[in-house]
Amino acid sequence: MSRAKMIVHESCKDDSFSIVEKQYSSKLCSPSLRCTTESVSELRNEDKKKKELLLRSRIAVCLVGGARKFELTGPSIAENILNVYPNADLFLNSPLDKDSFKFSIFKDIAPKIASIRIFKPTKLNETDFHRRVFTPRGSPNGIQGLLQYFNLVEGCLTLINAFQIQNDFTYDWIVRTRVDGYWNAPLAPNNFLPNNHYLVPSGSRYGGCNDRLGIGNLNTSQIALSRLSLIPQLDAEGFRQINSETSFKAQLTTQGVKFLENRLPFCVVSAHKFKFPPRGLPVASMSSPGPLSGAYCRPCTPVCAGPCADDFMAILPIDFSRIEGENGTVQLCDAHGEWESDWENNFDRFAGEKLAELRKRVMESKFEKCVKDFDEMKKRAVNWDAPDAKEICGIASRR
């Protein structure tokens, strides 16, 4: 079997293992062993020390993608990442669309703004090697959609490298995730891995590695974020007709980057419709305790939870669409139709008063307030590459 085919048919889990087991099982406890009071206390002390070290480190957080439901996801990202690590610099790389006005909330929720890039998207050139390496199956916009996503991700590197040169320093850590990710718990210190290991979420592997978030040092991140630049090397290695997740795994593997998985407390908010019961792709309720590790979600009233959800997860292939979790951590939506008519009330109920207020503030913002907020945000940002605030706010569709 060729090297390429071996990588395609392995799962991300085969190359990695639970961070908890790796870091702690030999000296403290593991998921399969009962933890003592002393061991739990020692774990907490280690996390506290690591958190203190991270707060003294240089951290870049880069968000990519369209604003879509940013009124739901943005405040959760601020609360569970940016406010947890207030020393982190925020980078945004996003295409201009009718929802871009929602980014004005950054004025109120982002502690530090390094670079904002909101650009008018253009079609990317599809070459023969793009068509050889990638399959359009599973991508809503085919190969063009994959290239657009890869361009967004690699754009993080462009922004971050320029900022480093501009300020004559280098980042210790780079966190790359999606604008449409909803977080229901803080990003824990144990997700920042030592020894040049790169962190990816568990589950939702789709034959490769979950590519909806990545955390690593500067060296590993330079490789992990080079989604466009490394395509010719994947072509030369013989990879054919693979999806985004498989190419991400191949990218890490062929470049010698060691990676580990962990369950992470976020999901990707999606308006796409999927069959129910889920025979292929499950959609979780945003109210699920989780962690959901980047699985698709929506603010639904769950129709299947507890043993029901566990049974469905057991059917789904572990190296494809399964959401890892049991004992009530995953609650499923019937996502075959549109969002429920009272989804806002559902969201406000489980998200809490603070995030509910911010959601309403975003959606009730008038044109003049939107422009003022963008202008104030521009003054706070070190680098700004975006259309005029009046253009961003003017193309917003109002309800």
Reported as a single tens digit per residue, the pLDDT across 286-334 is 999 999 999 999 999 999 999 999 999 998 888 888 998 878 899 999 9
Q: Which of 284, 292, 229, 276 is nearest to 255 (CA)?
A: 229
Higher per-residue pLDDT: 164 or 322: 164
Q: Are residues 194 and 68 in the same domain?
A: yes
Report d(CA 325, CA 320) in Å as an integer.
Answer: 14
- Report if residue 246 sits inside a domain: yes
Token digits of residue 92: 């945004």
- Report if residue 40 sits inside a domain: no
- Report if residue 36 sits inside a domain: no
- Report if residue 347 sits inside a domain: yes
Q: Are residues 349 and 387 in the same domain?
A: no
Q: Are 94 and 103 in contact (CB under 8 A)?
A: yes
Q: Are residues 174 and 243 in the same domain?
A: yes
Q: Are strands 197-201 and 181-183 parallel, antiparallel or unpaired?
A: unpaired
pLDDT for res 213 = 98
pLDDT for res 36 = 61
pLDDT for res 21 = 37
- Report if residue 239 sits inside a domain: yes
Q: Are residues 334 and 229 in the same domain?
A: no
Average per-residue pLDDT in the chain?
Answer: 90
Q: Are residues 66 and 80 in the same domain?
A: yes
pLDDT per position as a tens digit, 205-256:
999 999 999 999 999 999 999 999 999 999 999 999 999 999 999 999 999 9
Q: Are residues 195 and 309 in the same domain?
A: no
Q: Are residues 312 and 337 in the same domain?
A: yes
Q: Are residues 340 and 383 in the same domain?
A: no
Q: Which of 277, 280, 296 is nearest to 288 (CA)?
A: 296
Does pTM top 0.85 for this prediction? yes
- Report if residue 14 sits inside a domain: no
Beta strands in 272-347 (DSSP E): 284-285, 295-298
pLDDT for res 4 = 34
Amino acid residing at 190:
N
pLDDT per position as a tens digit, 53-69:
999 999 999 999 999 99
Q: Are residues 260 and 380 in the same domain?
A: yes
Domain total for the chain?
Answer: 2
Q: Are residues 274 and 134 in the same domain?
A: no
Cα separations in angstroms, 330 against 125, 191, 238, 266, 300: 40, 21, 38, 12, 13
Q: Are residues 241 and 144 in the same domain?
A: yes
- Report if residue 70 sits inside a domain: yes
Domain extent at residue 284: 270-364
- Report if residue 383 sits inside a domain: yes
Report d(CA 297, CA 31) in Å as an integer.
Answer: 26
Q: Are residues 239 and 105 in the same domain?
A: yes
For residue 373, pLDDT beyond 50: yes
Give the helix/strand (H/E) hosting 90.
strand 89-95
